């Protein structure tokens, strides 16, 4: 159990440091990833920024994620979910653009100016955990499209199968815990309260 997101960030930073991970920039997925991103960035001596992605929901069931799209349009789609939900091409294109706009607007809330250029940089992407990993996958694709020299996905907790699947998108996937009986990210925290926009932005100051 992690005490809270800051504790999880410190413990994640311990593992990254022990593995000799270096970073030119750390990017967190808001809002929940920012307390961890701050701890990791401080430990690795790197600047902290954000990458934003928004989930694409299924028709008549928006909580069922078909995938996710990042602020620049980089997308990851869950083929199994697509087969199950069978959305039309028109629906998928409309929702993809709508959620890209949502992600871009949210990014503008947290960041002044353009997003960083990751070309040739050692990039560590941090979140407070993964379940299906939809938003993490979209964010990793965004960074990969820039051509970083190295790309690390770092989370405190996630199910083994999801973490293994992320290895196809990153050079390394680092976690503190990989519980076989994974239920939900919040189940591994004693305090997993919502992070407000104001709190989240304070970690970027």
Query: Which 8-state DSSP code applies to residue 185?
Result: G
Q: Does residue 78 contact residue 92 with C-beta atoms inside 8 Å?
A: no
CATH architecture observed for domain 5-52+118-202: 3-Layer(aba) Sandwich (3.40)
Q: What's the rounded Cα separation, in Å, for the pair 44 and 26?
A: 9
Q: 133: alpha, beta or left, given left = phi > 0 and alpha = psi -120 to 50?
A: left
Residue 16 has pLDDT above 90, yes or no: yes
Residue 144: strand, helix, or coil: helix
- The pLDDT of 165-170, averaged and rounded, is 96
Longest dimension (CA), the chain: 48
80-96 pLDDT, tens digit each: 999 999 999 999 999 99
The domain over range 53-110 is classified in CATH as 3.30.590.10: no
99-156 pLDDT, tens digit each: 999 999 999 999 988 899 999 999 999 999 999 999 999 999 999 999 999 999 999 9
In the chain, domain spans: 5-52+118-202, 53-110
Residue 27: strand, helix, or coil: strand
């Amino acid at each position: 159990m992690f005490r809270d997101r800051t504790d999880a960030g410190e413990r994640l930073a311990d593992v990254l440091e022990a593995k000799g991970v270096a970073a030119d920039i750390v990017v967190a997925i808001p809002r929940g990833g920012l307390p961890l991103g701050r701890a990791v960035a401080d430990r690795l001596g790197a600047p902290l920024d954000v990458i934003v992605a928004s989930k694409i929901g299924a028709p008549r069931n928006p909580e069922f994620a078909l995938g996710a799209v990042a602020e620049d349009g980089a997308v990851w789609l869950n083929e199994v979910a697509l087969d199950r939900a069978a959305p039309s091409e028109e629906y998928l294109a409309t929702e993809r653009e709508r959620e890209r706009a949502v992600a871009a607007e949210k990014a503008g809330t947290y960041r002044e100016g353009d997003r960083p250029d990751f070309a040739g940089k050692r990039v560590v992407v941090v979140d407070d955990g993964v379940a299906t990993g939809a938003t993490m996958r979209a964010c990793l694709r965004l960074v990969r499209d820039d051509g970083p020299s190295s790309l690390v996905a770092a989370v405190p907790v996630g199910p083994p199968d999801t973490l293994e699947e992320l290895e196809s998108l990153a050079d390394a996937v680092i976690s503190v815990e990989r519980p076989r009986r994974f239920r939900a990210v919040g189940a591994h925290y004693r305090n997993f309260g919502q992070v407000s926009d104001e709190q989240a932005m304070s970690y970027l100051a």
